[in-house]
Structure 1
Amino acid sequence: MRALLALFALLALAGCGLSPMYAGGGSGAVAQSLAGIEVAPIEGRAGWLMRNALADRLGAAGAASPRYRLDVRLDDELEALGILADDTVSRERRTLRARYQLVDLASGEIVLDATDGSDAGIDVVSSEYATIAAEQTALENLSHVVAERMITRIALALRNRQ
């Protein structure tokens, strides 16, 4: 009975129309399109971190002749959340939002105009150094998370375009 159910599930899955996004590996259409994206410079430390995270995920240190340009504007906010009775902050939230556009360099057409973001909680401790280190680590982690979300959305847009 279990074998029959497993066989039925496999047949249903095969007929659903799903296909792997990165079919063909590094030589596949989506991977080649991602490698042809040039990331424009982004302002500030958060921009530097984001640009490096995007370059790592795109798989290219810059194609010889990029087909697309990715323009990114970041909004990095750090706000106090937990306030103790003596008016000291006990918890902070760091939020990183990215507004980005993928531009086709040949036609100037905007292929994708989207926003992604994430946030992280930070404990404020008695050591100022430890708090600053936690804030910086949160920014590094957020840049990786947001870059991953951006690449996924860009890959979907490029796959749908083909």
Structure 2
Amino acid sequence: MRAGLTIALLLAVPLAGCGLTPLYTGGGHGAVAGTLGAVEVVPIEGKAGWLVSGALRERLSALGGGAARYRLNVRLDDRIVGLGARSDDSVARERRTLRARYQLIDAASGSVVLDATAGSDAGIDVVGSEYATIAAESTALERLSETIADQIVARLALYARRTQPGS
């Protein structure tokens, strides 16, 4: 019994000083959530832009809805590339790639405070039905848009955490 307690205490000592802190300390009322809630998403072109901006607004508005202190500009690059060929030279598989370059701009000064990229890709089987292939491409774009939005919000949260006083 004493040996087990001693081992547990020895293992706990390194963890106590590791410096890990929760990103969203204070929950929806914390400093990071407050910063994220003050980000205005600038409209993004195209269907992919509509999906990404909707996903971003959904995630950021859940953290608050204060006055916009920041603007988020996003440019997307959406590509579909054919991979693999059948004996009749038709495409057997596609890869859809969605890349985003985004800038967080301080609304008061107009300066860029964060310039970064995000990206993801998905494989699509090309089947005999054109409708099914188009539906698969559309579904892939929806998933990629969600993934890109998650990556952007995570990076914005890290920025917000690093710029908080006392960080």
Q: TM-score range by the shorter chain?
A: over 0.9
Of the three residues 116, 119, 126, the one matched with 1:117 is 119
User: How many corresponding residue pairs?
Assistant: 162
**Unmatched runs of 5 consecutive residues or more in structure 2:** none
Helix, strand or coil: the match of 2:56?
Answer: helix
Query: What is the match of residue 157 of structure 1?
Result: 159
CA RMSD of the aligned region, Å?
A: 1.6
Determine what percentage of the aligned residue pairs are the same residue.
61
Helix, strand or coil: the match of 1:78?
Answer: strand
Alignment CA distance shift 1:110-1:57 (3 Å): same
Helix, strand or coil: the match of 2:47?
Answer: helix
Runs of 4+ in 1 over 6 A off after TM superposition: none
**Distance across 2 between alignment mates of 1:59 and 1:91:** 37
Helix, strand or coil: the match of 1:50?
Answer: helix
Of the three residues 79, 92, 95, the one matched with 1:93 is 95
Query: What is the match of residue 138 of structure 1?
Result: 140
Q: Cα offset for 1:59?
A: 2.5
Alignment CA distance shift 1:90-1:106 (3 Å): same
Which protein shows a greater Rg? 2
Is the 1:84–1:90 contact (alpha carbons within 8 Å) kept by the matching residues of 2? yes
Name the amino acid aligned to 1:142.
L
**Unmatched runs of 5 consecutive residues or more in structure 1:** none
Give the TM-score of the pair, scaled to structure 1: 0.94
Helix, strand or coil: the match of 1:116?
Answer: strand
Alignment CA distance shift 1:67-1:90 (3 Å): same
Query: What is the match of residue 83 of structure 1?
Result: 85
Name the amino acid aligned to 1:141.
R
User: Structure 1, residues 82-106: CA drift from partner, whole Å, max 9, x if none?
Assistant: 1112101110000000000000101
Name the amino acid aligned to 2:123.
G
Is the 1:37–1:62 contact (alpha carbons within 8 Å) kept by the matching residues of 2? no
User: Structure 1, residues 19-73: CA drift from partner, whole Å, max 9, x if none?
Assistant: 1100100000000100000000000000000001111111359835200000000
**Distance across 2 between alignment mates of 1:9 and 1:38:** 45
Q: Cα offset for 1:4?
A: 3.2
Is the 1:38–1:68 contact (alpha carbons within 8 Å) kept by the matching residues of 2? yes
Give the TM-score of the pair, scaled to structure 2: 0.92
Of the three residues 92, 106, 110, the one matched with 1:104 is 106
**Distance across 2 between alignment mates of 1:81 and 1:7:** 55
